[in-house]
Amino acid sequence: MDQDVNNLLDAWGFSHYKDIFAANKIDLNSFALLTEELVKELVGPIGDRAKFSKNLKDWISLTNPNKPLKELLRQTLEGRALLRVYSESGLLSNTGRRKICNIIIKNLFRRRSR
């Protein structure tokens, strides 16, 4: 199973669904494509499904390169470099991903301190 999917499931409190996601060959690419119908097949109880769907929606809005994240990355030198690497190769290393997380976290703290 995709380690990134495992990490998301752990972070969201859904580690008990790892086997189901693995059995259905859900990698990070297919994870981003999950619809409500597909989530119904993977996540059982309605309460879990509602929480999972909210987390998924928030995650997709943060990771969609055509949304606010791209604008946020354009505001910093490091972010522009990461966008350039991604546009050239279509991939980011774990270090690149961590840098994006740091940019997002710094932005969140900056917005909360205003």
Q: What is the pTM for the complete model shown? A: 0.58
**What is the per-residue pLDDT for 88?**
83
Distance between CA atoms of 40 and 90, rounded to whole angstroms? 30
pLDDT number for residue 58: 83
Separation CA 94–CA 34 (nearest Å):
23
pLDDT in tens, 21-66: 999 999 988 998 999 999 999 999 999 999 999 999 888 877 765 5
Provide the pLDDT confidence category of residue 83 given band limits of 50, 70 and 90: very high
What pLDDT shows up at residue 66? Answer: 54
Is the confidence at residue 81, as pLDDT, over 90? yes
Could you identify the residue written with the tokens 């946020």? 72
What is each CA distance from 86 to 9, 20, 42, 68, 83, in whole angstroms? Answer: 25, 30, 31, 16, 5
Q: What residue ranges define each of the domains in the chain, with the CATH number in brackets? A: 3-63 (1.10.150), 68-112 (no CATH)
